[in-house]
Structure 1
Amino acid sequence: MPAFALERLIPAPVERVFALSLDVAVHVESMTAHDERIVGGVGSGLMREGDTVTWDARHFGVRFRMTSLVFDVDPPHGFSDRQLRGPFAEFRHRHTFTPSGDGTLLRDEIEFRSPFGLLGRIVDALVMRRHLIRLIEQRNDTLERRSTRP
């Protein structure tokens, strides 16, 4: 299964970065370029262990829906989410938060697999990995901006 990890040092306390990462409004703000909105599950505030949320967004000019489950919540160290329903054959995202100097080292580990066998593997290699990296970077730009506001 394709996978990648991204790390970013955010100059804010780990508790703040962790909480903002679970805030559905921050996620929606980070995906405005994709017209993302919540259409089911947790509609506001912080997600908790066992919560689900259904996102609706436009990628590659097509609207997609994805329902995610939040699990393994361990404040303020990390949490995971995975797709329950949506465009991927499999999608898992592990978020970890480590105090580092005067900030937080945020690490995102993504595992994903597109449907359609060989065709999906080609899409993953040529397009999807780069697209997902850009999405996570956009999300982390928003997290950093929101985490460092006075």
Structure 2
Amino acid sequence: MSTIHLKTIIKADIQTVFDLSRDIDLHQKSTSKTNEKAIAGRTSGLIEKGETVTWQANHLGITQTLTTKIISMEKPFQFTDVMLKGAFKSMKHQHIFKQEGKNTIMIDIFEFQSPFGIIGKIFNKLFLKNYMKNFLLERNQLIKLTAENYLNRERSERQKS
């Protein structure tokens, strides 16, 4: 089992960051390089506990599908999704949010297991773990930019009033 642990500091309130993190439409924007699309289950808006989404994307030159389900959610502090069907042997992604002053700390704990035994373990060490880390970092960067831009627009509107 491989684990990727990321921490992103975002200058926005916890509710905004939490909602952006579970926004299907924003996720699709953040994964435009892989042409990721929600094709079944919840396909737009904010995903909720108990809901599934099936993603179709092009990774490593291969069109793949991945179905995940939100198995726990405590608004606005955490939600967890797990793979029901897809290319991994197993996958679990915990999304944790903590308010610290005017910032939200967004923590990702992404655990996955590659298929194909020893060959999968070697591929994971040489390539896949870093590929997935960069994939998550791009997603997190868009969440951060969107949340911070939203906050700046709100401030600007209040100053005009």
Same fold by TM-score greater than 0.5: yes
Q: Which residue of structure 2 aligns with residue 62 of structure 1?
A: 62
Q: Which residue of structure 2 aligns with residue 11 of structure 1?
A: 11
For the residue of structure 1 that corresponds to 2:111, the secondary structure is strand
For the residue of structure 2 that corresponds to 1:148, the secondary structure is helix
User: Deviation per CA, 1:22-79, whole angstroms, max 9, x where unpaired?
Assistant: 1100110110011111110001111001000000011111111000001210000000
Q: Which residue of structure 2 aligns with residue 143 of structure 1?
A: 143
Aligned residues: 150
Determine the C-alpha separation between the residues in 2 that align with 1:100 and 1:61. 41
Determine the C-alpha separation between the residues in 2 that align with 1:140 and 1:114. 23
Query: Does 1:126 find its partner at 2:126?
Result: yes
- RMSD, aligned CA: 0.7
For the residue of structure 2 that corresponds to 1:57, the secondary structure is strand
Determine the C-alpha separation between the residues in 1 that align with 2:100 and 2:131. 28
Determine the C-alpha separation between the residues in 1 that align with 2:100 and 2:61. 39
Alpha-carbon distance, 1:146 to partner: 1.1
Scaled by the length of structure 2, what TM-score is found? 0.91
Determine the C-alpha separation between the residues in 2 that align with 1:43 and 1:110. 22
Scaled by the length of structure 1, what TM-score is found? 0.98
For the residue of structure 1 that corresponds to 2:49, the secondary structure is coil
Determine the C-alpha separation between the residues in 1 that align with 2:60 and 2:107. 26
Task: Looking at secondary structure, tell me which structure has more helix per residue.
Answer: 2
Alpha-carbon distance, 1:107 to partner: 0.3
Higher Cα radius of gyration? 2
Fraction of identical pairs, as percent? 32
Q: Which amino acid aligns with 1:129?
A: K
Alpha-carbon distance, 1:2 to partner: 1.0
Q: Structure 1 segments of 4 or more deviating over 6 A?
A: none
Determine the C-alpha separation between the residues in 1 that align with 2:16 and 2:71. 19
